[in-house]
Chain A
Amino acid sequence: AQSVTQLDSQVPVFEEAPVELRCNYSSSVSVYLFWYVQYPNQGLQLLLKYLSGSTLVESINGFEAEFNKSQTSFHLRKPSVHISDTAEYFCAVSAAHRYGGSQGNLIFGKGTKLSVKP
């Protein structure tokens, strides 16, 4: 079974400051990793994902995350945040199938609320 720990429930930062949202996972098998974002009163949207290949993955709005197998982490970073980045961010994991594709369901962390202040 897999599990996800998001170490910070809330992260307040000032606009244009860098931010890191931490995510650690545990699994006895290979995994796929995801970050989803939820804006107020909305569903979740996929921000970025790691399936294989380069351990550094990027989103179109400047976020990046690095898969670190030895530390079982998938921290999300952005060098300069905007007010519009204020949202709740969820890290998620699923088991990787040996023949490709994921198996089972996504397991979500409890979320980190990013609050960007002017």
Chain B
Amino acid sequence: DGGITQSPKYLFRKEGQNVTLSCEQNLNHDAMYWYRQDPGQGLRLIYYSQIVNDFQKGDIAEGYSVSREKKESFPLTVTSAQKNPTAFYLCASSMGQGGEKLFFGSGTQLSVL
């Protein structure tokens, strides 16, 4: 089945630790996105990539990093510089570069120990 796979479903981070969230898609989509979801705040864009080896900062990129070495993969690293990392992280992809219809993964819940 085609779709987007995020792993792990739950992740715990210790103080000062970097953690990486995985996002893989087999839809052959060009564009991929990372959103952070906090209760009552909706979705906020962290980073997006419209093509391999290129990515742009979203609205809340500080404390995060990404890479896009392969079309199907867009991992997100939550660095120690992100002081409030506890949130639900959603990865998405779209066919074109405009994001008309986003396909979402099932999310990763990140918590701080």
Q: Contact residues of A with B, CB < 8 Å?
A: 6, 9, 32, 34, 36, 41-46, 49, 51, 90, 94, 97, 101-106, 108-111
Please state if A101 and B41 are interface contacts (CB–CB under 8 Å). no
Please state if B58 and A49 are interface contacts (CB–CB under 8 Å). no
| Number of A-B residue pairs at CB separation under 8 A | 60
**B51 → chain A, closest Cβ, in Å?**
14
Chain A neighbourhood of B45, CB < 8 A = 105
The CA of A110 and the CA of B41, in the complex, are separated in Å by: 5
Chain A neighbourhood of B90, CB < 8 A = 43-44
18 A-B Cβ contacts within 8 A? A32-B100, A36-B102, A43-B104, A43-B105, A44-B90, A44-B92, A44-B102, A44-B104, A90-B43, A94-B100, A101-B96, A101-B98, A104-B98, A105-B45, A105-B48, A105-B58, A106-B99, A106-B102
- B interface size (C-beta, 8 A): 24
**Across the two chains, which residue of chain B brings its CB closest to A90?**
B42
Q: Contact residues of B with A, CB < 8 Å?
A: 4, 6, 33, 35, 40-45, 48, 58, 90, 92, 96, 98-102, 104-107
**Across the two chains, which residue of chain B brings its CB closest to A108?**
B43
**Inter-chain pairs besides A42-B107, A104-B99, A106-B99, 9 sampled, C-beta below 8 Å:** A6-B42, A34-B101, A43-B104, A44-B43, A44-B104, A105-B58, A108-B35, A108-B42, A109-B42
Please state if A43 and B98 are interface contacts (CB–CB under 8 Å). no
Q: Nearest 6 CB-CB pairs, A to B?
A: A43-B104, A102-B98, A110-B42, A108-B43, A44-B104, A108-B42
The CA of A82 and the CA of B6, in the complex, are separated in Å by: 30
**B97 → chain A, closest Cβ, in Å?**
8
**Across the two chains, which residue of chain B brings its CB closest to A10?**
B40
The CA of A108 and the CA of B43, in the complex, are separated in Å by: 6
Chain B neighbourhood of A105, CB < 8 A = 33, 45, 48, 58, 99
Please state if A9 and B40 are interface contacts (CB–CB under 8 Å). yes
Please state if A43 and B107 are interface contacts (CB–CB under 8 Å). yes
The CA of A113 and the CA of B48, in the complex, are separated in Å by: 27
Chain A neighbourhood of B101, CB < 8 A = 34, 46, 49
